[in-house]
A = this chain, B = another copy of it.
């Protein structure tokens, strides 16, 4: 990013004015568009606010920017030649079906991006030390790129699909073949493809509540009507499906049965069976999102619904992002051939598939002897972080929070006992250098928080909880 040169002969305010002028002239800030506030620019360039005030004054004198009292500085709408108009970009940006992402998420993201020292219980990401960095680098350095490997792979690189078919049988008990697998750029794209290609605007779907997907604007952007599937500490309660189906003509069920995001719950075996039986009796598709099952701490891997589904009712979604290398951005969908063909065809219109290189690396990694030891280490480390978090919560927030301890995954779901305002609690926490995600983002009632313990270092966890306790006290008082 551009920064003014503090050693140079040109005064800082001039450098900033020149840089802004260049951005305006080259169209980054079109005529009529707002410019950053003085405070924000000062922060960005690491200068005093008075320097920015001078820079803006300079640009005003050139007729490039204008500011009215009490309002923001903006690019003059008249600075270009008289017979030339700029498209009304703000109007164009309001088009299309995509709703903006939620403000809570933006606030958290912005805070984390600005301040690297925040203790991060918000991101669903592995900490660096849990990522198989050496393994991925070793594999990448042994990979060989060839352009014909990457030609026409809108369904995904065939050797990765073969490797995944073996992987799914071995680790998940799912018997499938490469032709029934679509490689995606992560679970987000899997859900996007399903909601855009297999459903139409106005269709009704049922989604676990609370649920990770409630935090996505994706379903709303696709024009879907969303009905809640109630949950308790044993996962989703399938009894209500039949009523939802007959009342709202539900078209699809979205579930995340293993160490659910955000609640950490594991769907119990009898419910799993009832869910599948009900869906297959109604001819109702289940989208089973299963990114975390391989993290099970002390138990066997919980079986997926897909493995027991003889009626082809389940679309199974998985990903490497939460268990191995988020930077590869590899996910997959397992579905009947006709569904896969449809999704792969639609994808040609979206992005024609993506680079083969991360797919080669992922295939080599799951087939290598490095994968199993990585997973064992990961399970152990996540359990250690969870234990540390639980102990710290008991010590510093005993009586203030209530939770069940998950058996795998990376999410601890906490009820906050005192009555609070979610947004204020989050603000106080961010101010003290700790981030979490308010439960309301997932469709829960107010007063819950998701503490995700994969990202902070073990040594930061207790400190993070202490800060949380302080923040909570600050809003309660």
Query: How distant is the Cα of A29 from the Cα of B289 in the complex, in angstroms?
Result: 22
A-B contact pairs, 30 of them (CB 8 A): A1-B178, A2-B177, A27-B176, A27-B180, A28-B176, A28-B336, A30-B312, A84-B280, A86-B280, A86-B312, A87-B312, A89-B336, A89-B338, A92-B251, A92-B339, A109-B152, A126-B147, A128-B146, A137-B145, A147-B325, A149-B327, A150-B326, A184-B351, A185-B351, A188-B352, A189-B350, A189-B352, A329-B352, A351-B351, A358-B358
- List of B residues within 8 angstroms of A90 by Cβ: 338
Pick from A191-199, A395-403, A406-414, A456-464 the stretch touching chain B.
A191-199
Given A30-B312, A89-B339, A185-B185, 7 more contacts at CB 8 Å?
A81-B310, A88-B283, A90-B338, A186-B351, A188-B351, A329-B355, A354-B358
**Segment with Cβ contacts to B, from A61-69, A96-104, A372-380:** A96-104
Task: Give the residue among A27, A96, A337 with the most B Cβ atoms within 10 A.
Answer: A27
Q: In the complex the two chains form, is A285's CB within 8 Å of B92's CB?
A: yes
Of residues 242 through 300 on chain A, the ones whose CB sits less than 8 Å from some CB of chain B are 251, 277, 280-285
Residues of the B chain whose Cβ atoms lie less than 8 Å from the Cβ of A211: none
Given contacts A137-B145, A145-B140, A345-B98, contact A151 B283 (CB under 8 A): no
Residues of A within 8 A of B (CB): 1-2, 22-23, 25-31, 33, 80-81, 83-90, 92-93, 95-98, 100-101, 109, 113, 123, 125-126, 128, 131, 133, 136-137, 140-141, 143-152, 158, 174-180, 184-186, 188-189, 192, 196-200, 203, 216-218, 221, 251, 277, 280-285, 309-314, 325-330, 335-339, 341-342, 345-346, 348-358, 361
With the chains together, A96 CA to B221 CA distance in Å?
Answer: 13
Check A313–B87 contact: CB distance below 8 A: yes
**Which B residue's beta carbon lies closest to that of A97?**
B196
Of all chain B residues, which has the CB nearest A32? B312
